[in-house]
């Protein structure tokens, strides 16, 4: 996340926004209200709507198309960030994970997300580059987290019962977990670690019948 963020107030005029976009070489700004809360995002696309539709629009399309065109015409008449911005802003919480940010970006087809605190105040910007940067994490760091924080600390199981290899972010797990459930839980946890590209589950699971029998005392 980038904490040095360029933003504009909702009453910022069109020319000021256009100049700022050019000066800072960015394609969008978060828009803040008088309390410093993120209320929208104004982008190059929003600005271009004004230019593209400045001469008005002939024709009266109906249904959803007509409604969308009407909204675009309203935006084209705007003169401030509050008029032009897309609302509500698509944001991510400051404490959310990189995976959360990636899912939001994918769902909403956006390139960056304003990061906000619990009160809705702007604390930073998360870009696609920020999200993808986690995959530059060293393989050895990932392996140490799996054996130490996941297996030993998280599930109180002996890491020596497993073989963990990591190459280019792809994790391969072999060994025999104490229970099938434990094995599946470890795999799920590893899949969500930062920097993990994929998990190859080569654990040796007990057959369902054997697992069930082992839970009862023998006569």
Map out the domains of the chain as residue ranges. Answer: 8-134, 137-213
Q: What is the DSSP letter of 49?
A: H
Residue 21 Cα distances to 43, 168, 201, angstroms: 9, 37, 47
Mean per-residue pLDDT, 101-109: 92
* Per-residue pLDDT tens digits for 2-53: 888 889 999 999 999 989 988 988 889 999 999 989 999 998 888 887 666 6
**Per residue in 55-102, pLDDT tens?**
554 544 544 445 445 566 666 677 899 988 988 999 999 999 888 999
pTM of the model: 0.65
Residue 200's pLDDT band (boundaries 50, 70, 90)?
Answer: very high
CATH code, 137-213: 3.30.1340
pLDDT digits (tens, 9 = 90+) for 134-171: 889 999 999 999 999 999 999 999 999 999 999 999 99
Fold of 8-134: CBS-domain (3.10.580)
Closest CA to 52 of 92, 86, 84, 16: 84
Q: pLDDT at residue 213 above 80?
A: no
Burial class (CB in 10 A: 0-12, 13-18, 19+), 209: exposed
Tokens of 127: 């870009």
């Amino acid at each position: 996340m980038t904490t040095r963020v360029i933003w504009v107030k909702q009453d910022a005029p069109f020319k000021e926004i256009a100049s700022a976009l050019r000066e800072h070489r960015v394609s969008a700004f978060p828009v803040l209200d008088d309390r410093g809360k993120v209320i929208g995002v104004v982008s190059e696309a929003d600005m271009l709507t004004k230019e593209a539709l400045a001469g008005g629009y002939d024709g009266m399309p109906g249904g959803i198309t007509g409604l969308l065109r009407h909204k675009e015409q309203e935006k084209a008449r705007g003169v401030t960030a509050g008029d032009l911005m897309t609302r509500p802003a698509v944001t991510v919480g400051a404490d959310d994970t990189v995976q959360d940010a990636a899912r939001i970006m994918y769902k909403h087809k956006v390139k960056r997300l304003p990061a906000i605190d619990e009160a809705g105040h702007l604390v930073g910007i998360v870009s696609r580059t920020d999200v993808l940067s986690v995959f530059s994490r060293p393989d050895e760091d990932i392996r140490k987290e799996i054996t130490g924080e996941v297996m030993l600390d998280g599930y109180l199981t002996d890491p020596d019962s497993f073989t963990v290899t990591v190459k280019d972010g792809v994790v391969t797990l072999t060994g025999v977990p104490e229970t099938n459930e434990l094995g599946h839980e470890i795999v799920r946890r590893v899949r969500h670690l930062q920097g993990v590209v994929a998990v190859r589950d080569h654990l040796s699971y007990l057959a369902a019948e054997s697992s069930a029998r082992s839970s009862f005392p023998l006569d």
